[in-house]
Structure 1
Amino acid sequence: MRSSLFPAPCIWVTFLLALLQVALGSPYLPKRAKGPWKGLNTDFPDPSFMKAADGKWYAFGTNGNGKRVQVAVSPDFSHWTLLDIDALPTLGSWETAKDHWAPDVVLRDDGKYAMTYSGESKSDTPHHCVGTAVADKPMGPYVPSNTPLSCRLDQGGSIDSAGFKDKDGSRYVVFKVDGNSVGHGGDCNNGNPPLVSTPIMLQKVKADGVTPIGDAVKILDRNTNDGDGPLVEAPSLLLHNGVYFLFYSTHCFTDSKYDVRWATASSITGPYHKSNVQLLKSGDYGGLISPGGATVCGCGDRMLFHAWCDNSMKQRCMYVADLVLSGTTASIA
């Protein structure tokens, strides 16, 4: 009979495994639940991101927390820290100081960082242009150009830009023509007929990431028959296994119907075929509220987006998600 002073071998094994789990972060520890998680519990709308030359991930958000362009950093894409930095401390001559929305940054081949963003036009307030700025470091300061990339003020303005580098090295910027800003009232100012077009445009640019080459082409537009509501916006483009994925949001960002969807094409200029599937919608994953404004990594496996932080709908928090692409389908891991 074994003495009660000496635990049985199985007890010792269990004890040692428990110590190893604590010390080493063993796979026996509980895993994070499936689905998105909150990366920043503060106002950080329209998040875009990129991996910088220093190996860290940087996210950029619409004006908030006293900053014109917000910046956050992460060593692993899971844990994020909001920096006390305004990435765009100065203005271009064409813009007011009021609105700076949906900034997007790409790392150029020359090692510099090129930003596009939406700013309010002095010549036609409250409509917007897509501005550009360049920096030597990912967190800035970004120096703005006095010449916007796109305005289209006669159509409502240009907003929601995002850069893309194709397989042959060619660079593009996708953006939305803000037609609902000159709509006829109702849902997001475009719910009453005649409804106005809100197309997603594709603009080829030079290697600097900001200088247009030729004219932009339309690659997507709202269609009530597709369940789009008054608009499509917030485009993000990537190429995965020969398929171009264009992610976008539909409906109004203040509406519970706001969501994230995708369309696919075999050519960068289209035609793009809408999946008409809601990748993210209100109520998903424990109660997301109006998720949208998503940006997807060119690697095709990760995404940032915003959703209202809580039911007060006063701030939009940044969420992080793992993405799975297969053929022409997308899903959240």
Structure 2
Amino acid sequence: MNADPVWSKQSTSTSHPAVWAPSAIKVSTGKYMLTYAAQRKDSSYLRCIGVAFATKATGPYTPAKTPLSCVNGRYGAPDVMAGAASNDSVIDATPRFLTVNGSRGLYVTYKTQHSVGTKGQPGFHYYSTIRMVRVQAASNATAVKIWGASHILTTRPDNIEENPVMVQRGNTFTLFTSLGGYTLCSYHTEYRTSTHPWSWPSTSHRLSFPANTNTCGQGDADVYYSPRAKAYRIFWSGRPGGAGKSHPFYLYSGELGFFSGVPKVTGVDARKS
């Protein structure tokens, strides 16, 4: 981005950066939209979802003056997130075009999260939800509008569910999410399927990877369809050596197929150092 969002608190700390989880999408000819999570000015940890615009995929992106989604509509956010807790942090936005009831539109999925109890004490846990809102990007970089209101797609009252990615195949929608703590080897990708993007089963299923996928963690997944290859590609993060700071994260890629509607990772590309 070529500037900092005016509603965010900037940080020079590499261990606690001010901006997280960027995701870009082409919204029209010569126009790209970037979503990201940034730290609020009035908080040491709470975040909102921001948007920025550019004429090239690589930027530079100019941030809109107001965020897209923020609890209680703080800083002029049009998505006020009705029903969200006042201590919810909002991150992991992913924009996708979907066709719903014959109408193609731009939708953004994201996560809300807050902690319950005292960290390190018995009973401490996280409460997270996945939400989605339909977006109408303005013709300039000063505002973004929404259609209707955001809706809760899933609720995880006792764990972290994050990184929502929506994939549409005809009239079937698949929602991929990551479950658990991203620093742990137990971090993994789950999925749900539905025939309507606003209504989802409460139960999710773990995404199947080949037996020789030797990565510590299989979360942060993103899935795209490649028209050239006529196949789906999946990207995720993992550490080949195990958990801990001595084992760096790598970006992995592979092939994903749908078998009677069930997604499975069918191949993993060799890692290149």
Match of 1:329 among 250, 262, 267: 262
Name the residue aligned to 1:113.
32
Shift of 1:287: 1.8
Distance 1:243 1:274 in 2: 17
2:156 counterpart of 1:215: no
Higher helix share: 1
Distance 1:313 1:280 in 2: 22
Q: TM-score, normalised by structure 2?
A: 0.77
Shift of 1:127: 1.1
Asked if the contact 2:111–2:162 (Cα under 8 Å) also holds between the matched residues in 1, the reply is yes
Describe the superposition over 1:35-61 as per-residue Cα deviations: whole angstroms up to 9, x where unpaired. xxxxxxxxxxxxxxxxxxxxxxxxxxx
Asked if the contact 1:301–1:323 (Cα under 8 Å) also holds between the matched residues in 2, the reply is yes
Distance 1:262 1:193 in 2: 27
Q: Which has the higher contact order (CA 8 A, sep 6+)?
A: 1
Secondary structure, aligned partner of 2:183: coil
What are the residue-to-residue correspondences of 1:262-301 with 2, within 5 Å? 262-272=191-201, 274-280=203-209, 285-298=212-225, 301=232
- Cα 1:183–1:171 change in 2 (3 A) is farther
Match of 1:161 among 75, 93, 101: 93
What are the residue-to-residue correspondences of 1:86-97 with 2, within 5 Å? 88-97=1-10
Q: TM-score, normalised by structure 1?
A: 0.64
Asked if the contact 1:222–1:232 (Cα under 8 Å) also holds between the matched residues in 2, the reply is yes
The sequence identity of aligned pairs, in percent, is 23
Question: Which structure is larger by alpha-carbon Rg, 1 or 2?
Answer: 1
2:79 counterpart of 1:150: no
Shift of 1:305: 1.2
- Which structure 1 residue ranges, 5 or more long, are not aligned? 1-87, 225-229
Shift of 1:279: 3.2
Distance 1:320 1:169 in 2: 28
User: Between Structure 1 and Structure 2, how many residues are aligned?
Assistant: 234
Describe the superposition over 1:7-46 as per-residue Cα deviations: whole angstroms up to 9, x where unpaired. xxxxxxxxxxxxxxxxxxxxxxxxxxxxxxxxxxxxxxxx
Distance 1:259 1:192 in 2: 24
Root mean square deviation, CA, Å? 2.5
The letter for the 1-side match of 2:94 is A
Secondary structure, aligned partner of 2:86: helix
2:54 counterpart of 1:128: no
Name the residue aligned to 1:103.
22
The letter for the 2-side match of 1:193 is G
- Cα 1:192–1:214 change in 2 (3 A) is farther
